[in-house]
Structure 1
Amino acid sequence: MFGRWVVLSLVLLHLVLCNEEKTGDSPNVYEPSWVFKCVVDEGCQRSNSPQPATNASGLVFESLEVCRTVCGRFGGLWPRPVTAALSTQTVQIHPNYLRYDLIDVPVEAREMVVQMTHVASGNLVDECDGNVTELVDTRVVVYITVKTANTDLTWDTDEQYMLDVQTKDGSVAVHIVAETVYGARHGLETFTQLVAPNKPPFSDNYKCSLRLVSGAKIRDRPVYKHRGLVLDTSRNFIPIDDIRRTIDGMAASKMNVFHWHVTDSHSFPFESTRVPQFTRYGAYSPYEIYTAEEVRELINYAKVRGVRVVVEIDAPAHSGNGWQWGKEYGFGDLAVCVNAKEWRRLCIQPPCGQLNPANPEMYRVLRDLYRDIAEALPKPALFHMGGDEVFFGCWNASEEITSYMKEKGYDTTVEGFIKLWAEFHQKALEIWDEEMIAAGTVNPQPVMLWSSELTQAHRISKYLNKERYVIEVWEPISSPLLTQLLRLGFRVVSVPKDIWYLDHGFWGTTKYSNWRRMYSHMLPREPNVLGGEVAMWSEYVDAQALDTRVWPRAAAVAERLWADPAPGAAAAEPRLQRHRLRLAARGLRSDVLSPAWCAQHDSHCL
């Protein structure tokens, strides 16, 4: 019996000693681990063998995240700024001793900047998974200067900023200077990217501190005004929390337009207080609806993060479920071909549905919907009217529509249906303008349309005013349409479907674009090229796979649109590796870029 107690005591003693070695409770015991060295022209390299943490010095770091934050010309910044000078030294900080000085922010804009600082502080804490365990009293003051009180977010908003970090006598001063609150927001985002978690990898004992670059001088501004992401929430419903998380990723990547393709022929989850039938007949269930209150909250959530919400109500095609109640309420057919079984001759994909331009009641209902949207969007509002993939066979199958066309003198030919299509957009724009005026907008604002047969170069000028319409071109890169529209004086947003469609490669004969291919595609640098978007269509994705399908590929497009850098993807990869971990800390499950060994040995897997 005595022998058993001795053996048990020795086992317990061994466990205690092992635990002390793991946790570092004993001041003289250090668990060897990997360290990372910043090597000029190569990046961060993992040590050849595990080393005691006390050996870290100079450009050798315990944390790969800290190494990436200081290594190279742009450290771990994403997207890369115009110019940056970064110290290779860091100082340990704690959010408890961080404060913001807003004395040079106009009173009218101060509340919004306060909300932006709360987001920034939360992002810092997230770097340590919500628990910064290593407390230090280093004083950090972020001085924010905003020159104008205007909080409108438009294509004309000045988003440039300057950021300086200085460390002196044990305290840190961060200066952010911007013309607008949105430039200041971008500066705050860059400030958070100058901070990295210092946590030993593979340790059972969780300890995490934050290290801030001790000195920095950054000057930055975007190349393109419109840096967007399209999210389709009609084909498969995406919960509002997942949309917020997507907007968090956009903010981290300095994207500024959330293009919300909220309705299609499949479902109508967008609540209209004036026309409750839309969601009653069009939502997949009572639980898969975006309420008017949720929409308003999301718009504000995005605005605080420097993101403009552009609501798209696709029409006159892609309009089915949600519109099929007209006869029941005495309004006639608001839409035709809805849920038609023989869909291949009537629409691009099941279920079918196109608005009925021969029915004046349809325009009355559309007005009520537009009024709801005009009241919800911040002014000046940007609205997307959809406008693509009209199938003439659907309209031609309706006796009501063909009779209307004859009364108007339109032949039931391609050009006749083009005239009917253009008439719809003319009336829809007039309704939108009237509702915007009623909502307080003085000057008519441009609206967006998808490229289509109506926007082809040989006919667009006949039907669409270049001062009123911005065309979103989703043609393949081989198409001449983008160049042709520019020559005609139209403003464009580019989303080349064979490069920047995130759903491609998961269905049919489409080709998957990895982040390198997306990053390498460049847009023309012309004033009428407002920018571009990366698109997540949801036929084959829902909330379960959303993050990995979107990120980090959308971030690659974000840097292309913000910085449009000349160097290729290989030079960008170490920074994107750091950004991927940053997104993960903020709750986004980004897809992996490479094997972990490659991530720990920059430039060795090119």
Structure 2
Amino acid sequence: MLLATFVLIAYTTVVGALWPEPTEMATGGQTFWVTPGGLTAVLRCDQGETVLAGQDHRWSANDLGILMTDASNWTQMLWDRVPSFFGYWSGARVEPVLTETLILRNAVHDTFKSIDKSNFIPWKSHPRNSQFEPPVHGRHQYVSKLEIQLKSCPDDEKLHPRKFFDGDEAYELFIHNSTAILRVESTLGALRGLQTFQQLFYRHSGASGHYTDLAPVTLSDRPKWKHRGISIDIARNPFKPRDLIRTIDAMASAKMSRLHVHATDSQSWPIEIPALPTLARKGAYHPDLVWTTKALEKIQSYGVSKGISVFLEIDMPGHTASVAHAYPQLIAAFNELDWSTFAAEPLSGQLKLNSPEVTTFVADVLNDLLPRTQPYTSLYHIGGDEVNLPAYLLDETVQSDDPAILQPLLQKFIDRIVRIVSSFGLQPIVWEEMLLDWNLTLPSDATGQHSASTLVQVWRNSKRIEEVLRRGHRVIFGDYTHWYLDCGYGNFIDPYASGVSPPGIPFNTSGGVPSKTTVPYLDYCGPYHNWRHIYRYNPLENVSSSLHHLIEGGEVLMWSEQTDSFDLDTKIWPRAGAAAEVLWSGPRDDSMLEDATRRLGEWRERAVTEFDIMMSPVQMTWCLMEGGCTR
């Protein structure tokens, strides 16, 4: 661990517009320019020095970034471009090994390229017509070198995701002279520090150079929570892999660490399972919308390169109606007319709970999928939310909606999944209902099963967080009244044309029930959660302080009933950025909002300039330029 105490040097303490807010930072008012020849980087570790980037290592700075996002070409391109990285030349095509050394080298090149190519000029952060940029002419102080100090050199062996993502993310950054120092305890910490280093520099409008006007910089930083995530539902509406690539870029800039992909649901099954090829072929909305195994590898490997664990959720046993398009015999209550009796939303249907065929199916899916995700993450989300009881009245293997009958069957069902997930060295995650509503026994530290300890994701309220913690499980939080990003857009379900239900709705009735969807057609979780509301969410509010250390972190969630590729960015960002600072820096309060508006506003302007991400504005431009708008 880096130094527990941190002495602030007596500079003028003008905190820059960094996002998320660093733990401790002191800045000055001097201008340091990036040397015209480009930055070089060295790694100091194990009392040795390695050049990571420099004049003698000027192959394309984006090569490794491209390679990490293109699994089909990765092997040969790496071999062609950096053969020495894999040892002596044998003339044979070899499979590269994803290592922490490779990740760090890639991150350095990506950072340097981003600084060099950045067109971000922070004019919105200054009064109209002000001369905020430093003089172009005259004597300049340059930053020419970045020295990364790491006690032990990065591992050159095949990446171990759990070890990598459990790395200490703390870092110290010093920009006092021509050599900037980044001091870290792990490769992951270096990735976080590099993001901060990049945010310190701006492009000059009157010259080709880049500068920071905050030197000297002395900074110490560390996250509040390890799990800092976004959950994206790619099943209810169509998405493309490039949508998640853009999301990962923005997440990395905001120092987020987990991308939870809700990969399948009742409406569609878009991901390819080669062992069961008809699943996606029949379950996806369209053949062009199938996420291939290469696409998944592309997303997960790119996530690793940015320090983000991309993990999947295949929700079971509920939310599985799309399975019936390929395997109708596995699903109970499929597409019933009265869907609201048998599901949370259309269409109805879930896996039968006492069927040997379902047992085989689940094993086939997991034994195909998990070995392919295992190289890039240590997590897998089992699901388990919104299990519908009436559906099992139509399940010939159960024929009951009695919780006393269903609970042991559900326990057996989840036990089998947990065993498979754990056999691949992955940590299982479940929704809160499995523990709190169904009272399932799940592996935990309290039961002496630390290696397979189950994370529990709580989505209802903070009181549920404490309940989970007291039962011996670590928690991922994300209160739907604060951190659901799909709320406030209205109901996506129409009222009955006649105003009352037809025969058969509700189930086994003659109909005639008035429409539940009425003017003004609000959704269940409105109002819209603006970024300030998200920023002020305190997950610790109803949790005993003695349990705080057991909280793993949290996620903002983007369910996609009314979201697809075309509006994903504007609905996620910058609101997820607000959550990112809560997760990195801890709960916020009203006194922090004015400063947060300034910093988040600048971070947004940088993101829309440097990334291909269409973020919504944080505040009106006039307010940003004039120092804020308050009342």
Q: Could you give the per-residue CA deviations for residues 415-468 of structure 1, whole angstroms, max 9, x where no partner exists?
A: 22222222211122223334x1xxxx4xxx43101112x3227x63x5333343
Q: 1:276-301: CA deviations, max 9, x gaps?
A: 11111111111111110111121110
| Contact 1:534/1:557 (<8 A) preserved | yes
SS in 2 for 1:163: strand
1:337 is the counterpart of 2:314: no
Which structure has the greater CA radius of gyration?
1
> Does the alignment pair 1:313 with 2:314?
yes
1:98-137, aligned counterparts within 5 Å?
98-104=39-45, 109-128=100-119
1:581 and 1:451 mapped to 2: Cα distance? 37
Give the 3-state SS of the residue equivalent to 2:456 in structure 1: strand
Show the counterpart of 2:124.
Answer: none
Equivalent residue for 2:597? 573
Task: Tell me the equivalent position of 1:230.
Answer: 231
Q: How does 1:224-373 map to 2 (within 5 A)?
A: 224-326=225-327, 333-373=329-369
Contact 2:13 2:26 in 1 (8 A): no
| Aligned-residue offset at 1:72 | 6.3
- Post-superposition offset of 1:95: 6.9
Q: Which residue pairs with 2:222 in the alignment?
A: 221
Structure 1 unaligned residues grouped into runs of 5+: 1-69, 201-206, 328-332, 403-410
Which residue number in structure 2 is paired with residue 41 of structure 1? Answer: none
In structure 1, how many angstroms separate the alpha carbons of the residues matched to 2:142 and 2:15?
25
Counterpart position of 2:383: 386
Provide, for residues 45-74 of structure 1, a one-character-per-residue CA deviation record: whole Å limited to 9, x for no partner.
xxxxxxxxxxxxxxxxxxxxxxxxx99643
Residue number in structure 1 paired with 2:579:
557
In structure 2, how many angstroms separate the alpha carbons of the residues matched to 1:217 and 1:118?
Answer: 23
Q: Given the alignment of the two structures, is residue 450 of structure 1 paired with residue 431 of structure 2, yes or no?
A: yes
Q: Secondary structure of 2:315's match?
A: strand
1:166 alignment counterpart: 176
CA-CA distance at 1:126 after TM superposition: 4.4
Q: What's the TM-score, normalizing by structure 1?
A: 0.77
Aligned-CA RMSD value: 2.5
1:245-273: CA deviations, max 9, x gaps? 00111000000000010111111111112
* Contact persistence 2:574–2:604 (CA under 8 A): yes
Distance 1:139 1:74 in 2: 20
Distance 2:13 2:478 in 1: 31
Q: Which moved more, 1:365-374 or 1:497-506?
A: 365-374
Structure 2 counterpart of 1:157, from 162, 167, 175: 167
Give the aligned length: 498
**C-alpha separation in 2, matches of 1:142 and 1:197:** 19
Confirm or deny: 8 A CA contact 2:281 2:290 kept in the other structure: no
Tell me the residue number matched to 2:398. 401
TM-score by length of 2: 0.74
Answering whether residue 492 of structure 2 is matched by residue 503 of structure 1, we say no
Q: Check if 1:548 corresponds to 2:570.
A: yes
Q: Report the Cα distance in structure 1 between the residues aligned to 2:268 and 2:281, rounded to whole angstroms.
A: 10
Deviation of 1:522 after TM superposition, in Å, equals 1.7
CA drift of 1:120 comes to 1.0
Amino acid at match of 1:596: T
The answer to whether the 8 A contact 1:598-1:605 is kept is no
- C-alpha distance in structure 2 between counterparts of 1:517 and 1:416, whole Å: 42
Inter-CA distance 180–419: structure 2 relative to 1 (3 Å threshold): same
Deviations 1:75-133 (A, max 9, x none): 11111111111122222326741111134379963221111112212322442179xxx
For 2:287, what is the secondary structure of its paired residue? coil
2:528 to 483, 495, 512: 512
Structure 2 counterpart of 1:82, which letter?
A: T
SS at match of 1:81: coil
Contact 1:269/1:290 (<8 A) preserved: yes
Task: Specify the alignment match of 1:176 in structure 2.
Answer: 182
The counterpart of 2:33, out of the listed 79, 92, 95, is: 92
* Matched-pair contact (CA < 8 Å) for 1:95–1:124: no
Alignment match of 2:626 (pick from 586, 601, 605): 601
AA paired with 1:482? I
Residue 33 of structure 1 is matched in structure 2 by none
Tell me if structure 2 keeps the 8 A contact 1:271–1:290: yes
Deviation at 1:139, TM superposition (A): 5.3
Name the % identity.
28
Q: Give me the whole-angstrom Cα distance separating, in 2, the residues matched to 1:502 and 1:253.
A: 17
- Structure 2 residue corresponding to 1:417, chosen from 377, 400, 406: 406
Is 2:421 aligned against 1:428? no
Could you tell me how far 1:385 is from its partner in structure 2? 0.5
Q: Which runs of 5+ in 2 are unaligned?
A: 1-10, 51-84, 86-98, 122-135, 446-452, 491-521
Q: What pairs up with 1:431-510 in 2 under 5 angstroms?
A: 431-434=420-423, 436=424, 441=425, 445-452=426-433, 454-456=434-436, 460=439, 463-467=441-445, 468-477=453-462, 480-507=463-490, 508-509=522-523, 510=526
Cα distance between partner residues in 1 of 2:396 and 2:360? 21
Is the Cα contact below 8 Å between 2:120 and 2:202 reproduced in 1?
no
Q: Residue 422 of structure 2 contacts residue 428 of structure 2 at CA under 8 Å; is this kept in 1?
A: no
Distance in 1, matches of 2:257 and 2:144, equals: 28
Q: Deviations over 1:352-392 (max 9, x none)?
A: 22112222122222222212222122456210001100101
Contact 2:232 2:558 in 1 (8 A): yes
CA distance in 2, matches of 1:227, 1:283: 30
